[in-house]
Structure 1
């Protein structure tokens, strides 16, 4: 994700120009909550502590094996951090998108018009740390994007998505009422019965 979008402005990666159409408006764009990196980070730190303790007690082949194992844990942490940074969850006025993958780039899409219901879950940990999970239900077949977990500021983003999904008819009515030339001209026939003179 090098560079910024010319179409959507600073802060929006240039890559999104390939996936978004010009008339779409970005409602929000975010990365998953940092808690997804907690387990790999804790594992890496714990591995380093064990390696340091064993190195003080002994030396030789066992320490070398532990060093290799810790380097694998460190590589895993770096890979998870790269995946986290490279993954974007985007909501536009037309669809939800999850852009992810390092080697193979994938774009999961759920059109807003297909969402029939939306569930919002927050575990105890999620309430403490400030993240939640969205579960979308759609009419028809299973969609590529149905569950999005570890959403930061989930209360705010839930309200933003709900406003798009569940209030489109109100927006359409408002747009029609305010649109110029929205009235349909009515013409009456000249020979209508109420115009005839006896």
Structure 2
């Protein structure tokens, strides 16, 4: 993923030029929330503390076994962090993509035109740390990408995806309802009676 995209500008990995068509516009590009690294990091640190405490009280053979086990935890942390760094969530004006995998790169997509409904979940920890989960439903068929968890700044990205799915690019009039101050987007038909010319 070295280098930047010539087509989409700085900050966009060159790798994405292989997956995006020239007419696509990137709405957002992000990595999952850092909280996915919390458990491997805490486990590795606790293992190190345990190794430091126990190694002074046990035989050399048992200390070697504990050291090897801790090195396995460290390797796991490095692999999870590397995978987190390489994984990208990309939303364009045409589709939602998840690019992932270390050795075999995989691209899961959900075309925006296929999304019929979308659920937005925020657990208690998600509300505390600022991440959420998107669950998308499509019309009558399974898609490669239906759930994305650990989305940072999830309120903002939910609004951006909702705009793409439910109000794609057309100018909208905002009509105030008579009972309250809420606004409802209204799309006027092209051939409405008040637009017809006699």
After superposition, residues 118-137 of structure 1 pair within 5 angstroms as 118-137=118-137
Cα distance in 2 for partners of 1:66, 1:122 equals 38
Aligned to 1:115: 115
Give secondary structure in 2 for the equivalent of 1:35.
Answer: helix
Aligned to 1:64: 64
**Higher deviation after alignment, 165-174 or 117-126:** 165-174
Give secondary structure in 2 for the equivalent of 1:80.
Answer: helix
Cα distance in 2 for partners of 1:169, 1:49 equals 55
Cα distance in 1 for partners of 2:171, 2:63 equals 66
Aligned to 1:13: 13
CA-CA distance at 1:56 after TM superposition: 2.1
Give secondary structure in 2 for the equivalent of 1:118.
Answer: strand
Give secondary structure in 2 for the equivalent of 1:170.
Answer: coil
Cα distance in 1 for partners of 2:115, 2:104 equals 27
Aligned to 1:89: 89
1:27 paired with 2:27, answer yes
Cα distance in 2 for partners of 1:169, 1:74 equals 47
Higher helix share: 1
CA RMSD of aligned residues (A): 1.9
Cα distance in 2 for partners of 1:44, 1:11 equals 31
TM-score, normalization by structure 2: 0.86
Cα distance in 2 for partners of 1:168, 1:53 equals 59
1:37 paired with 2:45, answer no
CA-CA distance at 1:169 after TM superposition: 6.9
Higher strand share: 2
Structure 2 portions without partners, runs of 5+: 174-186, 191-196
After superposition, residues 182-193 of structure 1 pair within 5 angstroms as none
Give secondary structure in 2 for the equivalent of 1:104.
Answer: coil
Corresponding pairs, count: 177
Cα distance in 2 for partners of 1:153, 1:56 equals 45
Aligned to 1:153: 153
Aligned to 1:49: 49
Query: How far does the alpha carbon of each residue in 1:18-61 deviate from its partner, in whole angstroms, 9 at most, with x for none?
Result: 00011100000000000000000011000000000012223410
CA-CA distance at 1:132 after TM superposition: 0.2
Structure with larger Rg: 1
Query: How far does the alpha carbon of each residue in 1:111-160 deviate from its partner, in whole angstroms, 9 at most, with x for none?
Result: 00000000000000000000000000000211100000000000000000
CA-CA distance at 1:171 after TM superposition: 4.3
